[in-house]
């Protein structure tokens, strides 16, 4: 029997992290350790399918704590660093938390990877580029002009990855992904907020006039992109993940009403987010050259997502309960 590949996934109890764990454990030759602090955003329930699998292990710990991180990195063949504070609105309320987890936490993971000579893939975001003009597409070489504390903290982490690659030769690849959606996304994020409101017949809160545009990629495609970069990406290189459906937030809310069968009059406007980026937009030719293509059409992904939230109200109640404690 061949050696199994040992992969450490930080933030694996969160939305994207848990889908990545599903993908990786679908392969027979892989072992996965999840390191996650279980903040309001993470729950072991997202990993329930793997409890009891001898190829899966969960460790509760903080990525900004070297004592938690170093021993796990030391025994890993590859690290995917996805743990983060991830919600822009919370970063406007409490930027410090974002600097500690996203910047310091990434430095701690990088340092452990440097010492152990472990390859690492960092899950960054297209928000590091700042907002974009209509139809514009950022390449990976575009300058970073982050505008929210969240985006700035991710840019700091992303730049540290580049610096570790150049200075120490750390084998780090970076993915800068567009907005993603699907089952198990925290209910504070846009699509679950709209879906749950539409299902309950409550108002769908749309920021400003709903003109801001976002590109939505189904989470299954997003985590396949992470895995492709993990396996075939060039160390020291960043890869944009695009290929989603771009639409204005107002169109998105109306589309969800249509899908759920809720009246469009439920869509209501609420005061805009300060410094709300108009749109992002990335060129993803570099990722395409590694052989990745999106596979799940937006309508299909959205229908799956609506069905999942309709059937998992207990999950929603539990994670919202966690957010209060």
Ligand X SMILES: NC(=O)c1ccc[n+]([C@@H]2O[C@H](COP(=O)([O-])OP(=O)(O)OC[C@H]3O[C@@H](n4cnc5c(N)ncnc54)[C@H](O)[C@@H]3O)[C@@H](O)[C@H]2O)c1
Q: How many helices (H) and strands (E) does the chain have?
A: 12, 12
For 201: left if phi > 0, alpha if psi spans -120 to 50, otherwise beta; the answer is left
For 26: left if phi > 0, alpha if psi spans -120 to 50, otherwise beta; the answer is alpha
CB of 251 to ligand X, least distance (A): 18
**Six-digit token string for 65:** 């704590």
In a 3-state reduction of DSSP, which class is residue 81? strand
Query: Residue 121, exposed/middle/buried by CB under 10 A (0-12, 13-18, 19+)?
Result: buried
Whichever of 36 and 277 has its CB closer to ligand X, that residue is 36
Distance CA 303, CA 298 (A): 9
Whichever of 34 and 262 has its CB closer to ligand X, that residue is 34
Whichever of 105 and 119 has its CB closer to ligand X, that residue is 105
CB of 285 to ligand X, least distance (A): 19
Whichever of 186 and 245 has its CB closer to ligand X, that residue is 186
Residue 246: DSSP 8-state:
E
Is 285 noted as a catalytic residue in this protein? no
Closest CA to 125 of 26, 248, 215, 2: 215
Residue 138: DSSP 8-state:
B
Distance CA 207, CA 196 (A): 17
Candidate list 31, 85, 111, 126, residue with the active-site label: 126
The answer to whether the beta carbons of residues 56 and 31 sit under 8 Å apart is: yes
The answer to whether the beta carbons of residues 88 and 148 sit under 8 Å apart is: yes
The answer to whether the beta carbons of residues 146 and 92 sit under 8 Å apart is: no
CB of 271 to ligand X, least distance (A): 22
Whichever of 58 and 203 has its CB closer to ligand X, that residue is 58
Is 126 noted as a catalytic residue in this protein? yes
Candidate list 22, 129, 131, 150, residue with the active-site label: 150
Render 63-79 in DSSP notation, one character per residue: TT-HHHHHHHHHT-SEE
Whichever of 87 and 168 has its CB closer to ligand X, that residue is 87
Footprint of ligand X on this chain (CB under 6 A)? 10-11, 13-17, 36-39, 41-42, 62-64, 82-86, 101, 105, 123, 125, 154, 177, 179-180, 186
CB of 186 to ligand X, least distance (A): 5
Is 127 noted as a catalytic residue in this protein? yes
Distance CA 190, CA 185 (A): 10
CB of 244 to ligand X, least distance (A): 10
CB of 9 to ligand X, least distance (A): 10
* Residues labelled as active-site residues: 126-127, 150
């Amino acid at each position: 029997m061949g050696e199994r590949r040992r992969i450490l996934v930080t933030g694996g109890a969160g939305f994207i992290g848990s889908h990545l764990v599903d993908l990786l454990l679908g392969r027979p030759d892989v072992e996965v350790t999840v390191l996650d602090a279980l903040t309001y955003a993470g729950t072991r329930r997202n990993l329930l399918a793997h409890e009891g699998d001898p190829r899966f292990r969960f460790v509760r710990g903080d990525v900004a704590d070297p004592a938690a991180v170093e021993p796990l990195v030391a025994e890993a063949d590859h690290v995917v660093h996805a743990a983060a504070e991830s919600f822009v609105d919370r970063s406007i309320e409490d930027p410090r938390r974002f600097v500690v987890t996203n910047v310091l936490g990434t430095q701690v993971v990088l340092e452990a990877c440097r010492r152990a000579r472990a390859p690492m893939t960092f899950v960054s975001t297209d928000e590091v580029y700042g907002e974009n003009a209509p139809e514009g597409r950022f390449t990976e070489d575009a300058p970073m002009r982050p505008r929210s504390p969240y985006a700035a903290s991710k840019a700091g982490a992303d730049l540290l990855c580049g610096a570790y690659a150049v200075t120490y030769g750390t084998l780090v690849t970076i993915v800068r992904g567009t907005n993603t959606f699907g089952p198990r996304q925290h209910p504070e994020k846009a699509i679950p907020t709209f879906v749950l409101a539409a299902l309950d017949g409550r108002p769908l809160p749309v920021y400003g006039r709903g003109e801001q545009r976002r590109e939505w990629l189904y989470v299954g495609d997003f985590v396949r992109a992470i895995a492709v970069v993990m396996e075939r990406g060039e160390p020291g290189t960043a890869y944009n993940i695009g290929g989603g459906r771009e639409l204005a937030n107002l169109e998105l809310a109306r589309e969800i009403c249509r899908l759920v069968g809720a009246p469009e009059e439920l869509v209501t406007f609420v005061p805009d987010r300060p410094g709300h980026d108009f749109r992002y937009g990335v060129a993803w030719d570099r990722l395409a050259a590694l052989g990745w293509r999106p596979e799940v059409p937006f309508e299909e992904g959205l229908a799956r997502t609506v069905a999942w939230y309709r059937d998992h109200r207990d999950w929603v109640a539990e994670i919202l309960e966690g957010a209060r404690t």
